[in-house]
Structure 1
Amino acid sequence: MPSVSSTSASSATQPNSPSSDQVEGRNKNLKVPAQKAEKRIWNFQNRWYDEYKWLHYDEQLNRVLCFVCAEAKSAGLFSNSMKTEEAFTSVGYCNWRRGNENLRKHDISQQHKEAVRKLLLLKKSPISVQLSSVTLKKQEQARIALRSMFTSIIYLAKQGLPLRGSDHDGGNFIELLNLRSEDYRREKPLTSWDIQNEILKTISHFILRRIVAIVKSARLYSLVVDETSDCSVKEQVSISVRIVNEKLESEEYFLGHYETSSTTGEVLEKIIVDGLQRFGFSLSDLRGQCYDGASNMSGKFNGVQARLLKLQPKAIYVHCLSHSLNLALQSVASKHPFFRDLLSCVHEVGTILHGSPKRMGEFESKLENTSSNFIKPRPLCPTRWTVRVKSIEGLLNTYDASLQFLEDLGNSKEKISSKAAGLHTLMEKGEFFLGLLMAKNLFYIGECLSKVLQDPSATVSGGIEAATISVKRLQGLKSDGRFEKLWESMNEKIQECALDEPKLPRNRNRAKASDSTKDFSSPKERLQVCVKRLDVDLINPVLQCMKSWRLLY
């Protein structure tokens, strides 16, 4: 649609030229009857339709009219002083002898000019209406652009991606807007840091209001609180609530992080109570509280659970089941020398590989004949003891390549060559591979149980049921048939990688009073006894931890 200024200009320069809208619907019949005069026949020229856009053939009159003038007359737009040409408005024109001359005269006549002008003014919207429509269009475009900004920030926030980069023109938010601007472009984008933070706060408040409404509709709720330090070395307290919906399904909602300079039970209690009051949650509806085993959280006298029990005796404290499982695995694995050294080796191999792109490239070159889908060795997380399986599998799946890599690295002149040589010596023993298989079985059961316990929809009864199944699986690891399978797998790897076969230890001269050793007839018998001892040292404490859940709940 042309602008107001362009339309006015065209009307001023050529007022006798009607627009396409004004002549829409005219009839261009190519078989106009001929005119007979003075024994001659004069025909209508079809090219006149193109020269005079207003020319219209009326089938009832069997003649042509001026489409614009006829419409203006029927609408009563001509002034009283205007003398109209009946031939072009009502009677019709058929004088083809002087057709081109008379058509040109009508085209520049005052009657025709007035008809074109008044029809244009009649069909054209007022300037105020046009300006209003332009404003509404701009508002709609701005609304679409603003909606794109909100949805972009929501997407980045859900994915946990930072909005800004090192400068204002960089970052995920600006790049995402540039990509989406191909659909809707805004002349003045609202991309300042303050506006981004304000949009994030608006979205946060909107989500929190919905969460509060859901929790209040359920009325009864439980607390899940934990505290940790973030990347900026500031202590943060995370607060979540758990409810049971109308379908008797448990749901968990995160309320936010709260910074604190102290982690005493008194300070944490104030933060929790203040947060609940801000959201409008009543302490009388609190029915449970779940924390880790730290003294400031679970202490019987000054811990958070004890302080909240004084305010609400119905708020039963539950020690986090996943955390207690993590503590059990950490305790038994770190105290036993064999398992401690084995996990330390797994961690060191992963650290060496991931500490240098050059070393990773050399290691991958030794995996040319191995599937690229194999998990590579990786360092262990120092706190998450229920996440060990992938690191152990990474070393098991690439055992041959890891041996070659450590041997080459041990013979090099790098600073870590001595460490690599020591790791290679340890991995050359068949007993080490046997220990990896044992560790994988044990931690796999613990990791599966941990995933169940950390599910947002998990319940205490569901956790106890999962623990019962895990207990049966752990007890199955103590069978003699399981050791035979481990022994066969170890022998296969010994033949494949030329590992050192297990040997009986050298006899030492000790006093009979302190001699508690036992003579073994074969290395297999010795390892079988050692494995059973490991089962007692490692599996039994985990079993006791899980069985205690059934006694408590």
Structure 2
Amino acid sequence: MEIDLPNLPSDPGLRTRIIDYSPNIQDQIRRAYILKGLCQPRKHKFPQKKFGQASALRRFIPDWFNDYSNWLEYSISKDALFCLHCYLFKHNIGEQSGGDSFVSEGFSNWKKKDRLQIHVGEPNNAHNQAWNQYEALKNQNQHIQTIMFNQSDQTRIDYRKRLTTSIDCIRYLLEQGLAFHGHDEYEHSSNQGNFPQLLKFFANHNEDVKSEQMAVVFRYVNMDGDVIECFRGVEHVTSTTALSLKMAIDELFCRHGLSITRLRGQGYDGASNMQGKFNGLKTLILKENECAFYVHCFAHQLQLALVKVAKSHVDITTFFSYVANVVNVVGASCKRRDILHEKQATMVIEALNNGEIESGRGLNQNTTLKDNLHRPPLWFVIILGGTPPVPEITRTSPIF
């Protein structure tokens, strides 16, 4: 259906509701109305009407446009007031912020000018959320892609410090040939494995690393229809309870002019504080927005599946036990590592001479750990895919 954008009705009383347009063109409609500007016919002869038997005749006062110049509109057809921001962006029509009065029905009780201020209300009410989204669409510097990367220098330094700590731990374990995981990684385990224990050691000696964090990743679709996944950063939280995480998410969304009502998915691991049926973070968000469907983090699902497979098949369990033993025995001694390298080099030379394997650029070359570390690190996918840089939040990192 073709929409004549330049000729959309300016009178707010004659407009089609935003939700009645196709979702694919709703932002085009919004931009068209933003370009048109507010409908404020100051020179119109406003009609008078009576409120009650003993009341005097009253009419709209044009000076009210000056008091609420950034959102107030007047409909000549309905002799009523409307709010442009709420028309464009208010999602749930209800009693909050004047209910439906300033969106579709219009407000025309000229005796109660105080209702205009009530409509403006508190900073986090529906009207002000709509205003934030209006400003974000109007100002390209507030576009979501800009928001994602518009971080302070100190924030960038803090992120780099925590990420560097994780990388240092990974490098150390690789160089020493040590396993990352432990046999018991539950929250109350006395030894969750080398990687989290090493991170805890760093955290105990560095307050910047020790503070509890929540890693957040946003996935959204840009104007070209491309799916963009962006690591938003690490947010400070007072604790990792579901309520604390929900409050941190609400503050993050409000700070950047985003709305929970536009959230269409949420994903994290299966810990009770995250996906609990009654009080988990997933449930708290779903109570506010039924469209924010929960999906268990694929990385955590894959890890659980691999653990289950390894425990169920003797051959796989035995194989990894042998690998762990070899790594631990050989990695504990420089002499043993040298012997293993010599044996491996001898086997490769014999195989090359016998024509069993081929040599070439990148094929069967003698490489060092330094060479391998300069290659694209696969563990980066793990870190940016939801594994947080701080051990306290291993199972409390929401991804949006």
The question of a shared fold, defined as TM-score above 0.5 by the shorter chain, is answered with: no
The structure carrying a bigger helix percent of its residues is 1
Q: Which has the higher contact order (CA 8 A, sep 6+)?
A: 2
Structure with higher Rg: it is 1
TM-score of the two chains, using structure 1 as the length reference: 0.27
So what's the TM-score if we normalise by structure 2?
0.36
